Amino acid sequence: MNAHTHPEHPSPQDRPARLTVGVVGTGRVGPALAAALRLAGHRPVAASGVSDASVRRAAALLPEVPLVTPAEVLARAELVLLTVPDDALPGLVAGLAETGAVRPGQLIVHTSGRHGTAVLDPARRAGALPLALHPAMTFAGTPVDVDRLAGCSFGVTAPDELRLAAEALVIEMGGEPEWIAEEARPLYHAALALGANHLVTLVAQAMDLLRTAGVEAPDRMLGPLLGAALDNVLRSGDAALTGPVARGDAGTVAAHVAQLRAHAPQAVPGYLAMARTTADRALAAGLLKPELAEDLLGVLSDGGRP
């Protein structure tokens, strides 16, 4: 998406000026965001990263940008992206503020889903402008990540006076800003993890089971099915539920669990937990008939044994 044609793009006076950009933590996210900002006219000038993978990502996405210490990144950049793991963020912010690395008027942006702007309070007290911009996207650590930002929603949290600037930066990266209240950040992040991270686990497990069942190309089999299921649920919510649990086929569910116990016992707890949740939602949506739900829930409560 071209930011300058976005129907809700802030007026010119609300757009951030062309900024020098620094990245602290060249994991999968930071280099992609900095590369997207470069396409919008900003100028990446410094990055920090120590692992071999971090160095390779920086070289691929931010060529000619020097790798320096975190303090030096802050010394060179007007906009600093803190793209480190959630649990490392509080200590990093506190350390940078305590050592005097933070400058008044500097934009300090973190990309943690869990945290809002409170985690940046040490930097704010040093005069920085705090922003929380979390892309709701999974990253591979390759140049394709920049393309995936087009139309990607960002969870945005910022002080009211910085809201327009925060939203403008997101739009310049090709994203769509979605305002998240400070106190709602952990719930927002839990929702994304439930949907995206667990989806990877479920699909990988399903592929393993199909291989065990003799399917030579489980990815080809699952692709159209899962694509349709995802499209249906995004359009229709619980009305998209299908399958033996939603139908109340207790005997089929029991047979599933018996096969899982025999061939993949590690998959049984997850199957039972998701089946119980599916049954509850199908019952609440009126898809599962109460008279069938009793037998089904009985099977599930007994660990899948009829």
What spatial distance separates the first Cα and last Cα of the chain, rounded to whole Å? 54
Looking at the chain, how many residues does it have? 306
Query: For the residues of 63-74, what is the DSSP string, one character each?
Result: TTPPB--HHHHH
CB-count exposure of residue 277 (10 Å: 0-12, 13-18, 19+): exposed
As a whole number of angstroms, the longest Cα–Cα distance in the chain is 68
Give the pLDDT confidence score for residue 14 in this predicted structure: 54
Distance between CA atoms of residues 116 and 133, nearest Å: 9
Helices 250-263 and 198-212 pack at an angle, to 10 degrees, of 80
Residue 278 to residues 101, 113, 275, Cα–Cα distance (Å): 51, 27, 5
Q: Give the distance, in angstroms, between the CA of residue 208 and the centroid of all CA atoms in the same chain.
A: 25
Sign for the CA dihedral angle at 38, 118, 97, 67 comes to negative
Per-residue pLDDT tens digits for 227-244: 999 999 999 999 999 999
Q: Where are the alpha helices (DSSP H) in the chain?
A: 30-39, 52-61, 70-76, 89-98, 121-125, 144-148, 163-172, 185-192, 198-212, 218-236, 244-247, 250-263, 268-284, 290-301
Q: Is the pLDDT of residue 142 over 70?
A: yes
Q: For the stretch 99-124, what's the b/e string if a residue is b when 16 or more beta carbons lie within 10 angstroms of its beta carbon?
A: eebbbeebbbbbbbbbbbbebbebbb
What is the residue whose two structure tokens read 């400070």? 182
Taking the C-alpha atoms of residue 83 and residue 224, their distance in angstroms, rounded to an integer, is 34
Q: Write down the pLDDT at residue 261.
A: 95
State the pLDDT at residue 7: 42
Give me the pLDDT at residue 202, please.
Answer: 96
The whole-angstrom distance between residue 162's C-alpha and the CA centroid of its chain comes to 23
Task: Say whether pLDDT at 50 is over 90.
Answer: no
Q: Using the predicted structure, report yes or no on whether residue 2 has a pLDDT greater than 80.
A: no
pLDDT tens digits along 78-114: 999 999 999 999 999 999 999 999 999 999 999 999 9
Mean pLDDT, the chain, whole residue set: 92
79-82 vs 43-48, strand pairing mode: unpaired
Contact 58, 83 (CB under 8 A): no
Look-up of token digits 């099977």: 299
CB atoms within 10 A of CB 276: 15
Instruction: Give the integer Cα–Cα distance in Å for 55 and 217.
Output: 35
Parse the chain into domains and list their residue ranges: 3-180, 188-301
Letter string b/e over residues 215-230, b meaning 16 or more CB atoms within 10 A of that residue's CB: eeebeeebeeeeeeee
pLDDT at residue 1 is higher than 60: no
pLDDT band, very low/low/confident/very high, at 26 (cuts 50, 70, 90): confident
- Nearest partner of 37 among 69, 79, 4, judged by Cα: 79
Q: What is the pLDDT of residues 280-299, one digit of tens each?
A: 999 999 999 999 999 999 99
**Which residue matches tokens 């090709």?**
174
DSSP 225-239: HHHHHHHHHHHHGGG
Residue 55 has pLDDT above 90, yes or no: no
* 129-147 average pLDDT score: 94
At 221, list the tokens.
Answer: 């089999």
Residues paired with 133 in a beta bridge: 156
Highest CATH level, class, for 3-180: alpha beta
